[in-house]
Amino acid sequence: MVEETQRYFKGKTALITGGARNIGLAIARDLASRGASVAIVDICHDLDTVPYCLSTEADLDNSVKELSALGVKAVGLTCDVRNENQVQNTIDRVAEEFGKLDILVNNAGIISLFPLKEITEKAWDEVLDVCLKGTFFCCKYAVPYMVERKYGKIVNISSVAGLRGLGLSIHYAAAKHGVIGLTKALAMEVADHNINVNAICPGTVESPMLEGLASQIELEKDTYEHFSKGHLIKDRRITPQDIANAVRWLASDESRFLTGTVINVDAGWTARG
């Protein structure tokens, strides 16, 4: 339980995409437990080329209940970040309901694993559209609310795959590298409005997506172990809360001189280049 003195996001409002579960939910829970009003948005249906289930309406409802129980205002909205109209309506609705939008966390993301010759246009589009175009749309419609009040914190969840190549995922690597480019360019554009834009690159995090990927490549051994071979720290696993800890700092005023930067929460993976 967080003490009253630590509720330093009281009065702040945050929107987290892909917030119905896992990393997104951990971020929402962390900000809410420190006093922020939170809106979680999620697609709530599966996508054809993604080898695991995405969140459901029930996941979204349960997550909102959990967040509301922390004593803050919490709303859950179904929204596909690939759809510009849906994103615009969702952000307008959240800003209207909360009166403003201080923090945007672009966390929604999907992955699939295919060798180059097997990546269909649909698989390419789904990954690029959720991870990169969705981040663009959310920034496009959230930034005007931040400019209006001369305050904003945007945190984009990229990946180690945004910094280096990963096997069987040129589409995911392209999208996550793109998120870092977008982060830097947008930071330049909005700095004069007191808006910070930063990215986080997680290493392998415990998640439902890992199990789906394991089935796609017929992996039989421990999935986390397989996908975290690059980690230098081997005796502990990166959890969604580890990512939420970094987001909390970037969303707070303690990191006010960070913008256009990237924090790797990757157990040392990228230390070896």
Ligand X SMILES: NC(=O)c1ccc[n+]([C@@H]2O[C@H](COP(=O)([O-])OP(=O)(O)OC[C@H]3O[C@@H](n4cnc5c(N)ncnc54)[C@H](O)[C@@H]3O)[C@@H](O)[C@H]2O)c1
- Judged by the rule CB under 6 A, the positions of this chain that interact with ligand X are 17-18, 20-24, 42-43, 54-55, 80-82, 107-111, 130, 134, 157, 159, 202, 204-205, 207-209
Tell me how far apart the alpha carbons of residues 82 and 69 are, in angstroms, rounded to a whole number. 30
Catalytic residue among 52, 141, 151, 172: 172
Minimum distance of ligand X from residue 168's CB (angstroms): 15
Cα 124 to the center of its chain, rounded Å: 19
β-pairing verdict for 195-202 and 262-265: parallel
Helix axes 240-251, 22-33, angle to 10 degrees: 50
Q: Which two tokens stand for residue 213?
A: 């990927």
Residue closer to ligand X, measured from CB, 64 or 205: 205
Minimum distance of ligand X from residue 150's CB (angstroms): 28
- Ordered DSSP codes for 200-240: EEE-SB--HHHHHHHHHTT--S-HHHHHTTT-S--SS-B-H
Q: What is the largest CA-CA distance in the chain?
A: 55
The answer to whether residues 183 and 260 touch, using CB atoms and an 8 Å cutoff, is yes
* Strand extents, DSSP E, the chain: 13-17, 37-42, 74-78, 103-106, 152-157, 195-202, 262-265
Residue 52 among the catalytic residues = no
What is the number of the residue whose Cβ is closest to ligand X?
Answer: 109
Minimum distance of ligand X from residue 169's CB (angstroms): 10
Minimum distance of ligand X from residue 218's CB (angstroms): 19
Residue closer to ligand X, measured from CB, 111 or 190: 111
Residue closer to ligand X, measured from CB, 161 or 187: 161
Residue closer to ligand X, measured from CB, 16 or 72: 16
Question: What residues are annotated to the active site?
Answer: 172
